[in-house]
Chains A and B, each alone.
Chain A
C-alpha cells in the first residue's frame, strides 16, 4: 500500500511540475501575443497530429530515453555523470566509422549488432576516463565528465573533418553509412527505427535489474549512503565503476542508434540529447519506467516545438527553457535531497 502511495506521489509531482511549467510558458507566450489555445493546438498538431508526426515524436524519444536512463542509473548510485553528451558523440562517431571507412564484410545483422555493442563500449570507455581520473588523481567526476564533453566535441569534429570526411563535399560532414549498417525502420514511411524499440526494452530490463537483483539493490544503497554500504560489505568502488560503464554505454548506444537509425551520418551541427537526458531523468524521477514516459513527453515537446517554430515563429530555443523549468519544478516539488558531491567518494570515510 505504501509503495503505491510513494509511486503515485512521484507521478503527482511530475504531473504537477509539467502543468505548472506549461502554465508559465503559456502565460509568457500570451504576453508576447500568442493565444494559448492556438499555441496548444499547434503544438499538438506538430507532436501528434498525424501518424507520421506521432512516429517522429516516438523516434525523438528514443535517444532521450537512453540518455535519460544513462543519467538516472548514475545519479541513483551517487555517481555524477554529466557527460552523456560526450559519450553520445563518441558512440555515434564509432558507429559512423564502422559504417563508412571501416566497413567489415560479413552478414549484415551480425556485423551491425557487433558494431552497436562496440559503440556502446566506446561510450563506456569515454565515461570511464572520468572514473579513472577520480580513482587515481582525485578529480571530481561531476567536473571531469563536463570537461570531457567539450573534448569529445572537438575530437568528433576533428574526425568528421579528417579521416571520416565525405570526399564528395566541402561541408563538414561524413559520408552516408552503408545500407547494411543502418537500423531497420519499423513503420513504413517514417524513420521510426529498431533502436527506439531496443531503447524501450532496455528501460524495462534496467527496471527489473534495479528492482530484482542484488547488484541493482547494492547500486541504490551505494547511492543513498556509501558509508553504510561499505559497512555492509558491499563493493562500493566496484559498483560505482560498473554504474559509470553502464551509464556511458547507454549514452554511447544512444548515439550509435541515432546515427544508424535516423541521420546515417554525422555533421558539424550540434545535438543536445546528452544534456536533455538530465531533464528526462529528473522528470521521470530517476525511475526507468517513469523515464520511459518522460522521454515520450519530451519527444512530443520537441517535435511540437518545431511545429510552433514553423507555424507561429516561436523560437525552438524555448524548448531548452521548458526543459530547465521542468527540472527545477520537479526538484522543488520533489525535494530530492542534496548530498556531498565534489569530493571523491573514496575519500569520504
Chain B
C-alpha cells in the first residue's frame, strides 16, 4: 500500500470516527456518572431526522445542527426524568427511547416527504473542508498541507469540534474537580451526597449533555456525511458506540483510539469493496462487520473492568 493511499484511508477513518467520538464522549461522561443509556441509537437517529428537517425547512445547515442538538437533548431529558427522577430501569427505558425514536423519525420522515422535503436543498448541508472564520486562501493552504491537510482540515467542521470536545472531556475528567465529582457519581454517589453534591441534578445534566452530543453526531450523519435522510440510517451505530465506550475502558483516550481504529476498519472495508471484493464476498459480511468487530473487541479485552462501580443503578438505592 503506497503512502498516498494510506493518507486517503487515514482521512476516511477520521471522517468515519467523528460521530463515534462525539456520541461516545457524551455516553462516556454519562456512564462515568452511573447512567447507562442504551437509547443512544435512538438519540443519534433523532439527531439525523431533526438535523435533516431543520436544515431542509430552515434552508440553513446551522439551523439543522441546532435542531438536532435540541431534539436529541429533549429526548435525553425524557430518559433522565424517567430514570433519575422516577427511578425507572435504565435499560428498559433506553429501549423505549429507541422505539420512540424509530417511530418518531419514521413518521417525521413520511410527513416531510409528503410536504415535498424529501431531499436536502443544495446549499442546506455543510460542506467539507470549511473552517469558519478563516479566509478562503488560508483554508486552501491548510487543506494542501501534507498529511495534516487531508486528515485534519479536509474534514467537516464537526471534526475539529470533536477534537476540541474530546480534549475538553479528557481534561475535565482527569485534571479537574468536576472530573472527580463525575467519577464519584458513578462509584460512590452516597459519598457525593454526603459532600453536598446534588447527585440527581448532576446525573440529569450529564445525560442531557450526552444527548446533545449524540444529536450533533446524528446531524453529522444526515447533513454532513450523506446530505440526506433514510429511515433507520444509523443502522445500529449507537450500539457500536456503547461497545467502544467499554472497549476504551471508560477513558477518553481509550475511546478516541477505539473510534479511530474502528474508522480505519470502516475505511479499509469500503476501499476493499470498491476494489471489487464485493464480487467475491457477499455484502452482508461487510454489513455485519462493525458488529462482529465490536463483539470480538469486547471478548478480547482483558477481564476485570475499570468501569463505574454502580453503572445502571438508581440513586438513592433504597427509596
Of the candidates A146, A153, A321, A340, which one forms a contact with B107 in the assembled complex, judged by CB atoms under 8 Å apart? A321
A325 beta carbon closer than 8 Å to chain B: yes
Q: A158-B284, A321-B100, A332-B82 are in contact. Are A278 and B95 (CB under 8 A)?
A: yes
Asked whether any CB of chain A lies closer than 8 Å to the CB of B312, the reply is: yes
Chain A residues with Cβ below 8 Å from B98 are: 275, 324
Cβ-based interface call for A150 (8 A): yes
B299 interface hit (Cβ, 8 Å): yes
Of the candidates B86, B96, B307, the one whose C-beta lies within 8 Å of that of A324 is: B96
* B91 at the binding interface (Cβ < 8 Å): yes
- Residue A328 at the chain B interface, CB threshold 8 Å: yes
Contact with B along A286-310 (1 / 0, CB 8 A): 0000000000000000000000000
Are the CB atoms of A338 and B106 closer together than 8 Å?
A: no
Contact, CB under 8 Å: A138 / B89: no
Q: A151 contacts B107, CB within 8 Å?
A: no
Asked if B303 is an interface residue, CB under 8 A from chain A, the answer is: yes
B103-125 Cβ-contact flags toward A at 8 Å (1 or 0): 11011001100000000000000
List A residues 130-169 near B (Cβ within 8 Å).
133, 137-140, 142-144, 146-151, 153-155, 157-158, 161-162
Report the Cα distance A146→B237, complex, angstroms.
11
Which of B83, B107, B303, B314 lies at the interface centre, i.e. has the most chain A CB atoms within 10 A of its CB? B107
When the two chains form their complex, are residues A151 and B295 in contact, meaning their CB atoms are under 8 A apart?
Answer: yes
Mark out the residues of chain A between 185 and 226 whose CB falls within 8 Å of any chain B CB in the assembled complex.
none
* B131 within 8 A of partner (CB): no
CB within 8 Å of B: which of A85-134?
133
B71 at the interface (CB under 8 A from A): no
CA distance A146 to B93 in the complex (A): 15
Residues of B within 8 A of A148 (CB): 291, 295
Binds A, one of B148-156, B206-214, B220-228, B238-246: B238-246
B149-191 contact mask (Cβ, 8 Å, vs A): 1 or 0: 0000000000000000000000000000000000000000000
The answer on a CB contact under 8 Å between A151 and B111 is: no
A157–B242 alpha-carbon span in the complex (Å)? 25
Which residue on A lies nearest to B38, using beta carbons? A142
* Distance from B58 Cβ to chain A, minimum over Cβ atoms (Å): 21
Considering only residues 77-104 of chain B, those with a C-beta below 8 Å from chain A are 78, 82-83, 86-93, 95-104
Q: Are B284 and A142 in contact (CB under 8 A)?
A: no
Residue A6 CB within 8 A of the other chain: no
A58 is an interface residue with CB less than 8 A from chain B = no
Task: Show 10 residue pairs from A and B whose CB-CB distance is below 8 angstroms, ordered by the A residue.
Answer: A150-B239, A153-B288, A154-B287, A317-B107, A321-B99, A323-B103, A332-B86, A337-B314, A338-B314, A342-B36
| A337 pairs with B87, CB closer than 8 A | yes
B194 at the interface (CB under 8 A from A): no
A320 within 8 A of B: yes
> What separation, in Å, do the CA atoms of A337 and B91 have in the docked complex?
11
With A151-B291, A331-B92, A340-B312: A143-B246 Cβ-Cβ less than 8 Å: yes
- Are A335 and B88 in contact, CB atoms less than 8 angstroms apart? yes
User: Counting CB contacts under 8 A, is A23 at the interface?
Assistant: no
Q: Considering the complex, which residues of chain B in the window 14-30 have a beta carbon less than 8 Å from any beta carbon of chain A? A: none
Whether a CB of chain B sits under 8 angstroms from the CB of A80 is yes
Residue A322 is within 8 A (CB to CB) of chain B in the complex: yes
Report Cα–Cα, A343/B305, bound state, in Å. 8
User: Given A150-B239, A317-B110, A331-B86, A138–B303 Cβ distance below 8 Å?
Assistant: yes
Please indicate the chain A residues that have their CB under 8 angstroms from the CB of B97 in the complex: 324
| Shortest Cβ gap from B291 to chain A (Å) | 4
In the complex, what's the smallest C-beta–C-beta distance from B281 to chain A, in angstroms?
10
- Least CB distance from B318 to A in Å reads 9
**Is residue B65 contacting chain A, with contact meaning CB distance below 8 A?**
no
- In the complex, A80→B91 CA distance in Å? 8
**What secondary structure prevails in chain A residues at the interface with B?**
helix
Expressed in whole angstroms, the minimum distance between the Cβ of B214 and any Cβ of chain A is 16
Which B residues lie within 8 Å of A142 (CB)?
38, 91
A-B pairs, top 3 by smallest CB distance, nearest first, are A320-B103, A317-B106, A324-B99
- Complex Cα–Cα for A343 and B308 (A): 10
**Interface residue count for B (Cβ, 8 Å)?**
56
The smallest C-beta distance from B237 to any residue of chain A, in angstroms, reads: 10
Shortest distance from the beta carbon of B260 to any chain A beta carbon, whole Å: 20
User: Is B265 an interface position by the 8 A CB rule?
Assistant: no
- Given the complex of chains A and B, what is the CA–CA distance between A339 and B110 in angstroms? 38
Q: List the A side residues contacting B259 at CB < 8 Å.
A: none
* Chain B residues, CB < 8 A from A331: 82, 86, 88-89, 92-93, 96
Inter-subunit contact A138/B295 (CB<8 Å): no
- List chain B residues, Cβ under 8 A from A133: 295, 298-299
Residue of A151, A324, A336 with highest tally of chain B CB at under 10 A: A324
Q: Which of B93, B106, B282 is the one whose CB lies under 8 Å from A158? A: B282
Digitize B27-41: 1 where CB-to-A-CB distance is under 8 Å, 0 elsewhere: 000000000101000
The answer to whether B100 touches A325 (Cβ under 8 A) is yes
**Residues of chain B lying within 8 A (CB to CB) of residue A146:** 38, 236, 239
**Residue A16 lies at the interface, judged by CB distance under 8 Å to chain B:** no
A229 to B235, CA, bound (A): 39
Set of chain B residues within 8 Å of A140, measured between Cβ atoms = 246, 298
Interface: A315 (CB within 8 A): yes
Given A151-B288, A318-B107, A321-B104, is A339 in contact with B89 using a C-beta cutoff of 8 Å? yes
Kindly list chain A residues whose C-beta atoms are within 8 Å of the C-beta of B89.
331, 336-339
A183 at interface by CB-CB < 8 Å = no
Min CB distance A191 to B, Å, is 26
Contacts of A328 in B (CB 8 A): 78, 82, 88, 93, 96, 100
18 extra interface residue pairs, beta carbon distance < 8 Å, beyond A154-B291, A158-B285:
A82-B91, A137-B299, A140-B298, A143-B242, A143-B298, A144-B298, A147-B294, A151-B291, A153-B287, A317-B107, A328-B82, A328-B96, A328-B100, A331-B96, A337-B87, A338-B89, A341-B36, A342-B307
* A325 CB → nearest B CB, Å: 7
Bits for B43-62, please: 1 = Cβ < 8 Å to A, else 0.
00000000000000000000
Contact A147 B100 (CB under 8 A): no
- CB-contact partner of A315 in B82, B88, B107, under 8 A: B107
Instruction: Using CB atoms, name the residue of chain B closest to A162.
Output: B282
